[in-house]
């Protein structure tokens, strides 16, 4: 699976860094999942999740400095404020949506007259009898099918790409740009992912687990830490796979759409995991994106002429390179 350059320690790599590179991904993921599981057992899943999430952020903050994957990605890109602002706007929008869905009684549509479960067909479709591990795994795979197609269409349909380009306009990857999505892009993905789960009547505990898994894997996926993955990249979405997805070359960028797992990429022929070369350090998009957060929010809504005008002005003062 891996060639020797990836498996063996590199010349400038200490034994500690080498072993850490193998255990970082599975170790951090297992730690976060275990802590969240303890939270569920003691009736405080939210507290445990937040604690795990902060622990993960601190670990990645340290590892990105101790053993970076790309040293040049450590340089500031002037997008930290925009990264955080997009993260907060997106999270706020998704929360408001769920609150609103509750207020107008949308969730009631899915509640059957009898049975204590949900499900638009009024029947118990969700396999509630399964052990929680299998229910969560089932939810991940089912939601992922929709996430896969919403992500893939966001790349292949121009009007959707306008929104998704905000995420891909970064020129470096690090844990801070995990949540950098235009809020419309996130809404599209979250709603699509929720549809099959709502139809099947997935219980709240499964939805909470799914959110936790997505948050942990997403944060790991964008980190700038030198890690090795082996078989893990054939099951889960890892930084090793996602770095190809951020390539400027669309033969590589329009691949690896999976958010948590790679099963749908494999089935639909968009899985790549080259072993004979490193993913590109020079990432980004082949088109212009404004540097300011507020401009990035408006950008996808502007007409072609307005965008042209804006671009001419912005590149004229050399704020950000166009390509
Ligand atoms: Zn993408
Ligand atoms: Zn990404």
The 10s digit of each residue's pLDDT in 258-269 is 999 999 999 999
The pLDDT of residue 2 is 44
Q: How far is the CA of 173 from the centre of ligand 2 (A)?
A: 8
Look up tokens 């801070």; give the residue. Answer: 176
Q: What is the pLDDT averaged over residues 235-248? A: 97
Q: How far is the CA of 219 from the centre of ligand 2 (A)?
A: 10
The pLDDT of residue 8 is 67
pLDDT at 207 over 70: yes
Q: How far is the CA of 150 from the centre of ligand 1 (A)?
A: 10
Number of the ligand closest to the Cα of 160: 1
Summarised one tens digit per residue, pLDDT across range 73-96 is 999 999 999 999 999 999 888 877
Distance CA 30, CA 119 (A): 31
Q: How far is the CA of 246 from the centre of ligand 2 (A)?
A: 6
pTM: predicted TM-score of the whole model, two decimal places: 0.89
Number of the ligand closest to the Cα of 221: 2
The pLDDT of residue 194 is 85
Q: What is the pLDDT averaged over residues 264-291? A: 96
Number of the ligand closest to the Cα of 180: 2
Q: How far is the CA of 174 from the centre of ligand 2 (A)?
A: 10
Sign of the CA dihedral running 96, 102, 106, 110: positive
Q: How far is the CA of 168 from the centre of ligand 1 (A)?
A: 7
- Six token digits for residue 320: 């950000």
Distance CA 247, CA 253 (A): 5
Q: What is the pLDDT averaged over residues 89-114? A: 66
Q: How far is the CA of 288 from the centre of ligand 1 (A)?
A: 16
Q: How far is the CA of 86 from the centre of ligand 1 (A)?
A: 16
How many Cα atoms are found within 13 Å in the side-chain-facing hemisphere of 67?
22
pLDDT at 317 over 80: no
Sign of the CA dihedral running 11, 12, 18, 21: negative
> For residue 289, what are the contacts with CB-CB under 8 A and spacing of at least 6?
165, 166, 169, 296, 299, 320
Q: What is the pLDDT averaged over residues 193-202? A: 84
Q: How far is the CA of 189 from the centre of ligand 1 (A)?
A: 11
pLDDT at 183 over 70: yes
Q: How far is the CA of 197 from the centre of ligand 2 (A)?
A: 24
């Amino acid at each position: 699976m891996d060639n020797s350059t990836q498996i063996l320690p590199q010349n400038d790599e200490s034994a500690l860094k080498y072993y850490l590179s193998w255990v970082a991904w599975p170790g951090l993921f297992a730690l976060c999942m275990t802590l969240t599981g303890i939270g569920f057992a003691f009736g405080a899943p939210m507290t445990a999740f937040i604690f795990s999430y902060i622990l993960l952020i601190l670990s990645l903050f340290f590892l990105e400095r101790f053993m970076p994957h790309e040293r040049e990605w450590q340089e500031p890109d002037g997008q930290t404020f925009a990264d955080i602002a997009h993260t907060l706007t997106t999270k706020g929008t998704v929360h408001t949506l769920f609150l609103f869905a509750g207020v107008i009684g949308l969730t009631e549509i899915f509640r059957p007259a009898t049975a204590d479960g949900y499900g638009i067909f009024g029947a118990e479709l969700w396999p509630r009898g399964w052990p929680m591990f299998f229910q969560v795994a089932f939810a991940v795979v089912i939601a992922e099918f929709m996430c896969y197609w919403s992500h893939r269409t966001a790349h292949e349909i121009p009007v959707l790409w306008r929104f998704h380009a905000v995420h891909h306009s970064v020129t470096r990857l690090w844990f801070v740009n995990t949540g950098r999505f235009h809020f419309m892009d996130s809404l599209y993905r979250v709603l699509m992912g929720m549809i099959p789960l709502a139809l099947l009547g997935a219980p709240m505990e499964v939805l909470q687990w799914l959110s936790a898994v997505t948050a942990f894997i997403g944060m790991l996926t964008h980190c700038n830490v030198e890690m090795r993955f082996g078989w893990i990249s054939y099951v889960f979405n890892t930084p090793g796979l996602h770095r190809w997805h951020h390539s400027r070359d669309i033969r590589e960028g329009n691949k690896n759409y999976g958010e948590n797992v790679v099963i749908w990429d494999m089935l639909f022929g968009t899985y790549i995991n080259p072993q004979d070369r490193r993913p590109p350090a020079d990432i980004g998009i082949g088109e212009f994106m404004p540097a300011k957060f507020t401009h990035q929010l408006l950008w996808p809504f502007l007409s072609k002429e307005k965008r042209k005008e804006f671009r001419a002005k912005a590149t004229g003062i050399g704020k950000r390179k166009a390509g």
